Structure 1
Amino acid sequence: MDAPVELIQRIQSLLPVEEAARTCVLSKTWSHAWSTIPHLRFHQTLIYPSEEKKSEYTMFMDGTVSKYVRDNIPIESFDLKLDDMESVSLAYEWIRTVAARLKELSIHHLTYKSEFLLPPGEIFSCGKYLHTLCIKNSPVRTKLVINCVSLRVLELYNVKITEEVFDSLISTCTLPEKINLLYCSGLKTIKVSDQAYFYHRV
């Protein structure tokens, strides 16, 4: 007898993507669980055997997100590692489409000279559910509608962000538990209230 779908999806979410996908052969229940798992991880790599394979993976990512949106399948966690501007431009659309339901969002651009700007408002104004946000190697827009009342974990690595935007973001968080900042240009000082912030400055 199969385990509950929620438990199966929990197991699949802890596995590397390739291994999690192989669990589909176990039964129809495992296959259904994988096709509706609310935790999506797309990790590109800087090393591809060919441009064709790279393009295929980009199409796979886009097709997967489109299927979730079309079938109204919830996406609670979105983990993106991107290495080219084509995927980054698609990620803009993905984030805008699924932001309203997100609880966790991680964006890691593998190229340090990224020009990827977070979509204005789509992330930071969907704060009803978002409790974990991790951004690596991206500038943040200076004009944002910020309302992340549920945010508990914020991690920014090599992110260009102004003190005004950061203060505005933090001021809307009522329950912060962990804040990590590393190599964040634009931040010289931060305002600290009763909460404890873990802060790196280089």
Structure 2
Amino acid sequence: MDKISRLPDELLVKVLTFLPTKEAVSSSILSKRWEHIWKWLPKLEYDDQHYSESERKRLRCFIVRSLPLHKAHVIESLRLKLSNSHYFKPQVIKWIVATAVSRNVRELDISYSSYPEKLNTLPSNVYTSKSLVVLKLSDWILLAVPPMVCLPSLKTLQLQQVAYFNEESLQRLLSNCPALEELKVDIWKDDNTRKFTIIVPSLQRLSLFIPFDYGIDGLVIKTPSLKYFKLRVHSSSSHYCLVEHMPNLIEAYIDVEFPNIKSLIESITSVKRLEICLEVLYEEGIVFSQLEHLKLCRCKDCTSNLLVRLLKDSPNLRVLNLYEMIDHYYCGIIPWNPPSTVPACMLSSLQIFNWSAYSGVPGERDLAIYMLKNASHLKTATILSDECDIPELEMLKELAFSSRASTTCEFMFD
């Protein structure tokens, strides 16, 4: 301990950052040398999950005593995972957050659970912070964005199952984040917001999740700089949808169930890597000229027709994966209807074909044989079998001895 105590303050502070905040503060009792080191901690974390009421009381007393003594001019991060209880009432949490913002906090990560259920707001200085770079909010928080809002340094914003004061709240917040690069929005199923407008010229990563059967009225997305796009919307109702073209898009994850998908599909034609599951078939005339990696979920009735269209519309496709997205389930036997002409990518660029959860039923078998028979530049074909009535050896023989367009294709079956 004596050798460690001789280290410069900066190194001792770094050592303490590897400890939970409460333990780091308790180091002050070690010796006179350690008495004030903790006050310069750049990262603070408070978590009362799974605490008893007596433990919450001690944690509250600890925060109230220690936070005013903190001296760091910049707090790199404050993480709160607290619950609404007798000791952590909304005004206490507001005070903690407001104090951190006044100390030029760069990252705020706030998760607030409430029993009984009650929404809580943030202190107003959060919305005018010049230092804030990362803001993550989840659970029982009400996003009541004031008229005066400006977050000039904010680059990452995550809103997971929070509530919105009105339909303009999200749009107002986003329009005052000129440097925003990453946005993640998971809509709370009990929220009453029905129109979502995301217009952020600087945005590079966007993830939007709207839960199953959520009554959405309109969706507008204008993000010309986007490189990564994840969209999960499951809504049977018809609604307004305008998604503008994303010329810089590299990777997209699309899992949607709503009728009007024209502008959505047209917006992602520049994508290079695509994971997709659609309830309806998109219109003809769309070309994915840069698409190289395609992962297609096979759970929908239109999967066979969708695969044919994507193969025809992706002339430079190199990798094809057939699989099931998380929480998706195969709907049953889907007949394979081969195209009248072999898609160009199968004759020139397709090199890798992977299929997971293969069952060997007639439609699947016909598709697998078609791929092997017509993909003339195929290097590897990997098929992972699923539990089924057909013995694996029989499936293996059927595919292994089928004709192949590529004489160098390595066939793997597991």
TM-score for the superposition, normalised by structure 1: 0.80
Q: How many angstroms apart in 2 are the aligned matches of 1:3 and 1:163?
A: 54
| Aligned CA distance change for structure 1 residues 31 and 182 (closer, same or farther; 3 Å) | farther
Q: How many angstroms apart in 1 are the aligned matches of 2:33 and 2:147?
A: 42
Task: State which of 108, 113, 116 in structure 1 corresponds to 2:111.
Answer: 108
Pair 1:62 & 2:64 matched: yes
The answer for the alignment partner of 2:43 in structure 1 is 39
TM-fit CA distance, 1:28: 5.2
Pair 1:190 & 2:194 matched: no
**Counterpart residue identity of residue 66, structure 1:** P
TM-fit CA distance, 1:103: 1.3
SS in 1 for 2:196: coil
Contact 1:21 1:34 in 2 (8 A): yes
| Aligned CA distance change for structure 1 residues 159 and 130 (closer, same or farther; 3 Å) | same
Q: How many angstroms apart in 1 are the aligned matches of 2:69 and 2:28?
A: 17
**Counterpart residue identity of residue 91, structure 1:** I
Q: Name segments (4+ residues, structure 1) moved above 4 Å.
A: 21-31
Q: How many angstroms apart in 2 are the aligned matches of 1:114 and 1:198?
A: 29
The answer for the alignment partner of 1:91 in structure 2 is 93
* Higher percent of residues as helix: 1
Q: How many angstroms apart in 2 are the aligned matches of 1:19 and 1:45?
A: 17
| Aligned CA distance change for structure 1 residues 164 and 10 (closer, same or farther; 3 Å) | farther
Deviations 1:43-94 (A, max 9, x none): 112331xx333212111111112323xxx54351221111124423212122
Percentage identity across paired residues of the two chains: 23
Contact 1:95 1:122 in 2 (8 A): no
| Aligned CA distance change for structure 1 residues 144 and 28 (closer, same or farther; 3 Å) | farther
SS in 1 for 2:56: helix
Q: How many angstroms apart in 1 are the aligned matches of 2:23 and 2:58?
A: 19
Q: How many angstroms apart in 2 are the aligned matches of 1:154 and 1:170?
A: 9
Q: CA RMSD in A?
A: 2.7
**Counterpart residue identity of residue 82, structure 1:** L
**Counterpart residue identity of residue 74, structure 1:** H
The answer for the alignment partner of 1:14 in structure 2 is 18
TM-score for the superposition, normalised by structure 2: 0.42
* Higher percent of residues as strand: 2
Question: Could you tell which deviates more after superposition, 54-63 or 186-195?
Answer: 186-195
| Aligned pairs (5 A) from 1:120-131 | 121-126=124-129, 128-131=130-133
Number of residue-to-residue matches in the alignment? 195
Contact 1:92 1:118 in 2 (8 A): yes
The answer for the alignment partner of 1:146 in structure 2 is 149
TM-fit CA distance, 1:194: 4.8
Which 5+ residue runs of structure 2 have no aligned equivalent? 211-414
| Aligned CA distance change for structure 1 residues 154 and 7 (closer, same or farther; 3 Å) | farther
Contact 1:153 1:176 in 2 (8 A): yes
